Amino acid sequence: MTTIACIGECMIELSQGTGSQLIRSYGGDTLNTAIYLARLGVSVDYITALGDDPFSDEMIDSWKAEGVGTGRVVRVKGKLPGLYAIRTNDEGERSFYYWRDNAAARMLLDLPETDALLAALSDYDMIYLSGITLSLYSADGRQRLLDALKRVRKGKTRVAFDTNFRTQGWPVLDIARQVYREMFDIADIVLASTDDLTPLFGARMQGELIDRIGAREVVLKLATPASVVRYDGLDTTVKAEPVDRVVDTTAAGDSFSAAYLAARLRGMTPPESARAGHRLAGAVIGHRGAIIPPAAMPRDGLASVIAMEQSP
Protein backbone atom coordinates (compact mmCIF):
# COMPACT_ATOMS: atom_id res chain seq x y z
CA MET A 1 0.00 0.00 0.00
CA THR A 2 1.26 3.49 -0.85
CA THR A 3 1.98 5.51 2.28
CA ILE A 4 1.38 9.11 1.17
CA ALA A 5 -0.73 10.79 -1.48
CA CYS A 6 0.31 14.33 -2.45
CA ILE A 7 -2.37 16.47 -4.09
CA GLY A 8 -1.61 19.48 -6.24
CA GLU A 9 -0.34 20.77 -9.54
CA CYS A 10 2.80 20.45 -11.63
CA MET A 11 3.44 23.10 -14.28
CA ILE A 12 5.80 23.68 -17.15
CA GLU A 13 8.63 25.88 -15.86
CA LEU A 14 10.60 28.39 -17.92
CA SER A 15 13.79 29.70 -16.32
CA GLN A 16 16.57 31.95 -17.55
CA GLY A 17 19.41 30.25 -19.39
CA THR A 18 22.36 31.83 -21.17
CA GLY A 19 21.61 35.25 -22.62
CA SER A 20 18.02 35.34 -23.84
CA GLN A 21 17.60 31.56 -23.82
CA LEU A 22 15.00 29.90 -21.63
CA ILE A 23 15.32 26.49 -20.00
CA ARG A 24 12.20 24.31 -19.86
CA SER A 25 11.56 22.02 -16.92
CA TYR A 26 8.68 21.18 -14.56
CA GLY A 27 7.76 22.22 -11.04
CA GLY A 28 5.10 22.53 -8.37
CA ASP A 29 5.22 22.69 -4.58
CA THR A 30 3.54 19.38 -3.71
CA LEU A 31 5.20 17.64 -6.67
CA ASN A 32 8.60 18.75 -5.33
CA THR A 33 7.68 17.28 -1.95
CA ALA A 34 6.51 14.04 -3.58
CA ILE A 35 9.83 13.63 -5.40
CA TYR A 36 11.87 14.23 -2.26
CA LEU A 37 9.65 11.82 -0.33
CA ALA A 38 10.30 9.16 -2.97
CA ARG A 39 14.04 9.83 -2.83
CA LEU A 40 13.91 9.39 0.94
CA GLY A 41 12.38 5.96 0.52
CA VAL A 42 8.71 6.78 1.13
CA SER A 43 6.06 5.19 -1.10
CA VAL A 44 4.15 8.12 -2.59
CA ASP A 45 1.47 8.79 -5.22
CA TYR A 46 0.86 12.12 -6.89
CA ILE A 47 -2.77 13.15 -7.44
CA THR A 48 -3.48 15.76 -10.10
CA ALA A 49 -5.03 16.29 -13.53
CA LEU A 50 -3.02 16.70 -16.72
CA GLY A 51 -3.83 17.07 -20.40
CA ASP A 52 -3.42 14.59 -23.23
CA ASP A 53 -0.46 16.49 -24.68
CA PRO A 54 3.25 15.58 -25.05
CA PHE A 55 4.26 17.83 -22.13
CA SER A 56 1.92 15.94 -19.82
CA ASP A 57 3.40 12.67 -21.11
CA GLU A 58 6.89 13.93 -20.27
CA MET A 59 5.81 14.90 -16.78
CA ILE A 60 4.41 11.46 -16.03
CA ASP A 61 7.50 9.74 -17.42
CA SER A 62 9.77 11.89 -15.25
CA TRP A 63 7.70 11.22 -12.10
CA LYS A 64 7.83 7.49 -12.73
CA ALA A 65 11.60 7.74 -13.13
CA GLU A 66 11.75 9.34 -9.67
CA GLY A 67 9.67 6.54 -8.14
CA VAL A 68 6.49 8.63 -7.72
CA GLY A 69 3.25 6.73 -8.37
CA THR A 70 1.10 8.13 -11.18
CA GLY A 71 -1.91 5.82 -11.05
CA ARG A 72 -4.12 8.60 -9.63
CA VAL A 73 -3.29 11.15 -12.35
CA VAL A 74 -6.40 12.03 -14.37
CA ARG A 75 -5.85 12.88 -18.05
CA VAL A 76 -8.25 15.48 -19.49
CA LYS A 77 -8.72 15.47 -23.23
CA GLY A 78 -7.85 18.73 -24.96
CA LYS A 79 -6.33 20.39 -21.87
CA LEU A 80 -2.75 21.42 -21.06
CA PRO A 81 -0.64 21.85 -17.91
CA GLY A 82 -0.16 25.31 -16.45
CA LEU A 83 2.95 27.37 -17.25
CA TYR A 84 5.14 29.68 -15.22
CA ALA A 85 8.32 31.67 -15.78
CA ILE A 86 10.87 32.50 -13.09
CA ARG A 87 13.47 35.19 -12.59
CA THR A 88 16.23 34.79 -9.99
CA ASN A 89 18.12 37.70 -8.44
CA ASP A 90 21.76 37.72 -7.28
CA GLU A 91 20.76 36.51 -3.79
CA GLY A 92 19.00 33.43 -5.15
CA GLU A 93 15.46 34.71 -4.53
CA ARG A 94 12.94 34.01 -7.27
CA SER A 95 9.99 35.90 -8.76
CA PHE A 96 7.22 33.86 -10.40
CA TYR A 97 4.93 34.71 -13.34
CA TYR A 98 2.00 32.36 -14.02
CA TRP A 99 -0.23 31.29 -16.94
CA ARG A 100 -2.48 28.68 -15.35
CA ASP A 101 -6.14 29.76 -15.41
CA ASN A 102 -7.14 27.01 -17.88
CA ALA A 103 -4.77 24.31 -16.64
CA ALA A 104 -6.09 20.76 -16.38
CA ALA A 105 -5.16 20.57 -12.69
CA ARG A 106 -7.76 23.18 -11.81
CA MET A 107 -10.50 20.81 -13.02
CA LEU A 108 -9.48 17.90 -10.77
CA LEU A 109 -12.44 18.19 -8.40
CA ASP A 110 -15.05 18.79 -11.11
CA LEU A 111 -14.51 15.71 -13.29
CA PRO A 112 -16.42 12.42 -13.73
CA GLU A 113 -13.49 10.69 -11.99
CA THR A 114 -13.60 12.97 -8.94
CA ASP A 115 -15.84 10.87 -6.68
CA ALA A 116 -13.73 7.73 -7.13
CA LEU A 117 -10.57 9.74 -6.59
CA LEU A 118 -11.81 11.21 -3.31
CA ALA A 119 -13.05 7.81 -2.11
CA ALA A 120 -9.56 6.39 -2.74
CA LEU A 121 -7.96 8.83 -0.27
CA SER A 122 -8.82 6.44 2.57
CA ASP A 123 -6.36 3.94 1.06
CA TYR A 124 -3.42 6.04 2.22
CA ASP A 125 -1.72 6.45 5.58
CA MET A 126 -1.35 10.18 4.97
CA ILE A 127 -2.68 12.87 2.62
CA TYR A 128 -0.42 15.85 1.98
CA LEU A 129 -1.61 19.09 0.38
CA SER A 130 -0.83 22.79 0.50
CA GLY A 131 -2.42 26.20 0.48
CA ILE A 132 -1.52 26.41 -3.20
CA THR A 133 -3.42 23.15 -3.76
CA LEU A 134 -6.55 24.63 -2.18
CA SER A 135 -6.27 27.82 -4.27
CA LEU A 136 -6.57 25.84 -7.52
CA TYR A 137 -10.17 24.71 -7.29
CA SER A 138 -13.63 26.16 -7.49
CA ALA A 139 -15.41 26.82 -4.20
CA ASP A 140 -17.60 23.74 -4.69
CA GLY A 141 -14.66 21.55 -5.65
CA ARG A 142 -12.61 22.75 -2.72
CA GLN A 143 -15.46 21.96 -0.32
CA ARG A 144 -15.73 18.45 -1.76
CA LEU A 145 -12.05 17.94 -0.98
CA LEU A 146 -12.34 19.31 2.55
CA ASP A 147 -15.35 17.10 3.24
CA ALA A 148 -13.44 14.07 1.93
CA LEU A 149 -10.49 14.86 4.20
CA LYS A 150 -12.84 15.03 7.19
CA ARG A 151 -14.20 11.60 6.29
CA VAL A 152 -10.83 9.88 5.86
CA ARG A 153 -9.59 11.21 9.20
CA LYS A 154 -12.27 9.11 10.90
CA GLY A 155 -10.23 6.08 9.86
CA LYS A 156 -6.49 5.56 9.93
CA THR A 157 -5.56 8.28 7.42
CA ARG A 158 -3.78 11.37 8.70
CA VAL A 159 -3.77 14.75 6.96
CA ALA A 160 -0.70 16.99 6.62
CA PHE A 161 -1.16 20.59 5.45
CA ASP A 162 1.59 22.94 4.27
CA THR A 163 0.41 26.53 4.53
CA ASN A 164 2.31 27.65 1.38
CA PHE A 165 0.38 30.88 0.80
CA ARG A 166 0.59 32.86 -2.45
CA THR A 167 -1.45 36.07 -2.66
CA GLN A 168 -2.06 35.72 -6.41
CA GLY A 169 -3.97 32.50 -5.76
CA TRP A 170 -6.42 34.17 -3.38
CA PRO A 171 -7.99 37.35 -4.82
CA VAL A 172 -10.24 37.61 -1.75
CA LEU A 173 -8.23 37.34 1.47
CA ASP A 174 -11.29 36.70 3.63
CA ILE A 175 -11.98 33.51 1.65
CA ALA A 176 -8.38 32.41 2.13
CA ARG A 177 -8.61 32.99 5.88
CA GLN A 178 -11.83 31.00 6.11
CA VAL A 179 -10.38 28.08 4.10
CA TYR A 180 -7.18 28.05 6.12
CA ARG A 181 -9.06 28.06 9.41
CA GLU A 182 -11.11 25.07 8.25
CA MET A 183 -7.97 23.29 7.10
CA PHE A 184 -6.28 23.96 10.46
CA ASP A 185 -9.18 22.18 12.15
CA ILE A 186 -8.95 19.22 9.78
CA ALA A 187 -5.19 18.65 9.67
CA ASP A 188 -3.28 16.37 12.01
CA ILE A 189 0.02 18.04 11.06
CA VAL A 190 0.41 21.65 9.95
CA LEU A 191 3.68 22.78 8.37
CA ALA A 192 3.55 26.57 8.53
CA SER A 193 5.84 29.57 8.23
CA THR A 194 5.76 33.15 9.41
CA ASP A 195 6.12 34.20 5.74
CA ASP A 196 2.82 32.44 4.97
CA LEU A 197 0.80 33.38 8.02
CA THR A 198 1.76 37.05 8.35
CA PRO A 199 0.11 38.16 5.07
CA LEU A 200 -2.98 36.15 6.02
CA PHE A 201 -3.44 37.17 9.63
CA GLY A 202 -1.26 40.25 10.02
CA ALA A 203 2.00 40.65 11.91
CA ARG A 204 1.89 38.59 15.09
CA MET A 205 4.33 37.12 17.55
CA GLN A 206 5.24 33.53 16.72
CA GLY A 207 3.27 32.22 19.69
CA GLU A 208 0.13 34.00 18.51
CA LEU A 209 0.54 32.55 15.02
CA ILE A 210 0.86 29.01 16.36
CA ASP A 211 -2.12 29.57 18.65
CA ARG A 212 -4.28 30.13 15.56
CA ILE A 213 -3.67 26.52 14.50
CA GLY A 214 -5.67 23.88 16.31
CA ALA A 215 -3.75 20.85 15.05
CA ARG A 216 -2.04 18.61 17.59
CA GLU A 217 1.25 18.91 15.69
CA VAL A 218 2.47 22.21 14.25
CA VAL A 219 5.82 23.25 12.80
CA LEU A 220 6.30 27.00 12.36
CA LYS A 221 9.32 27.95 10.27
CA LEU A 222 10.69 31.32 11.35
CA ALA A 223 12.27 34.18 9.43
CA THR A 224 15.55 33.19 11.04
CA PRO A 225 16.99 29.72 10.19
CA ALA A 226 14.97 27.90 12.84
CA SER A 227 11.54 26.47 13.53
CA VAL A 228 9.22 26.09 16.50
CA VAL A 229 7.63 22.67 16.89
CA ARG A 230 4.46 22.36 18.96
CA TYR A 231 3.39 18.84 19.84
CA ASP A 232 0.76 18.07 22.46
CA GLY A 233 1.03 21.66 23.69
CA LEU A 234 4.81 21.64 24.20
CA ASP A 235 6.92 24.09 22.15
CA THR A 236 10.48 23.25 21.11
CA THR A 237 12.75 25.53 19.09
CA VAL A 238 14.88 23.71 16.51
CA LYS A 239 17.72 25.69 14.93
CA ALA A 240 19.03 24.95 11.45
CA GLU A 241 22.73 24.43 10.95
CA PRO A 242 24.45 27.22 8.97
CA VAL A 243 24.93 26.57 5.24
CA ASP A 244 28.02 27.57 3.32
CA ARG A 245 26.27 29.13 0.34
CA VAL A 246 22.71 29.91 -0.74
CA VAL A 247 22.29 29.48 -4.50
CA ASP A 248 18.52 29.15 -4.89
CA THR A 249 15.87 29.05 -2.18
CA THR A 250 13.29 27.33 -4.40
CA ALA A 251 11.80 24.21 -2.77
CA ALA A 252 13.45 24.84 0.59
CA GLY A 253 10.06 24.50 2.27
CA ASP A 254 8.97 21.64 0.01
CA SER A 255 12.07 19.59 0.85
CA PHE A 256 11.74 20.44 4.54
CA SER A 257 8.20 19.04 4.46
CA ALA A 258 9.37 15.86 2.73
CA ALA A 259 12.11 15.12 5.25
CA TYR A 260 9.88 16.04 8.20
CA LEU A 261 7.05 13.75 7.12
CA ALA A 262 9.40 10.94 6.13
CA ALA A 263 11.05 11.09 9.54
CA ARG A 264 7.71 11.14 11.35
CA LEU A 265 6.58 8.08 9.38
CA ARG A 266 9.84 6.42 10.44
CA GLY A 267 8.92 7.04 14.09
CA MET A 268 11.16 10.03 14.83
CA THR A 269 9.93 12.68 17.27
CA PRO A 270 8.69 16.02 15.92
CA PRO A 271 11.90 17.90 16.97
CA GLU A 272 14.08 15.18 15.42
CA SER A 273 11.98 15.35 12.27
CA ALA A 274 12.36 19.14 12.11
CA ARG A 275 16.14 18.73 12.29
CA ALA A 276 15.96 16.32 9.37
CA GLY A 277 13.83 18.87 7.50
CA HIS A 278 16.34 21.65 8.06
CA ARG A 279 19.19 19.40 6.97
CA LEU A 280 17.62 18.47 3.64
CA ALA A 281 16.47 22.05 2.98
CA GLY A 282 20.03 23.21 3.65
CA ALA A 283 21.30 20.84 0.96
CA VAL A 284 18.60 21.89 -1.51
CA ILE A 285 19.28 25.64 -1.31
CA GLY A 286 22.91 25.02 -2.21
CA HIS A 287 21.87 24.03 -5.75
CA ARG A 288 19.99 25.73 -8.55
CA GLY A 289 16.41 24.64 -9.18
CA ALA A 290 13.69 22.99 -7.14
CA ILE A 291 14.91 19.43 -7.60
CA ILE A 292 18.61 18.92 -6.93
CA PRO A 293 20.61 16.26 -8.78
CA PRO A 294 20.19 12.77 -7.30
CA ALA A 295 23.92 12.69 -6.58
CA ALA A 296 23.51 15.71 -4.28
CA MET A 297 21.01 13.90 -2.07
CA PRO A 298 22.18 12.37 1.23
CA ARG A 299 23.82 9.08 0.25
CA ASP A 300 21.53 6.78 2.23
CA GLY A 301 18.37 8.85 1.95
CA LEU A 302 16.52 9.58 5.16
CA ALA A 303 18.79 7.38 7.28
CA SER A 304 21.73 9.56 6.25
CA VAL A 305 19.83 12.80 6.95
CA ILE A 306 18.93 11.61 10.45
CA ALA A 307 22.44 10.31 11.09
CA MET A 308 23.94 13.67 10.11
CA GLU A 309 21.55 15.45 12.43
CA GLN A 310 22.50 13.17 15.32
CA SER A 311 26.25 13.49 14.75
CA PRO A 312 28.25 15.86 16.97
Q: Any idea which residues carry the catalytic annotation?
A: 254
User: How is residue 293 annotated by DSSP?
Assistant: -
Do 293 and 287 contact (CB within 8 A), yes or no? yes
Report the C-alpha gap between 277 and 262 in whole angstroms. 9
User: Which pairs from 141-145 meet CB under 8 Å and 24+ separation?
Assistant: 141/108, 141/109, 141/110, 141/114, 142/109, 142/179, 144/109, 144/114, 144/118, 145/7, 145/109, 145/118
Among 73, 181, 154, CA closest to 117: 73
Handedness of CA 188, 260, 163, 292 (dihedral sign): negative
Number of C-beta neighbours around residue 23 at 10 A: 12
What is the layout of strands, in order, in the sheet containing 226-231?
44-47, 4-7, 126-130, 158-162, 189-193, 217-221, 226-231, 234-239
* CB neighbour burial string for 167-198, b if at least 16 within 10 angstroms, e if fewer: eebbeeeeebeebbebbbebbebbbbbbebbe
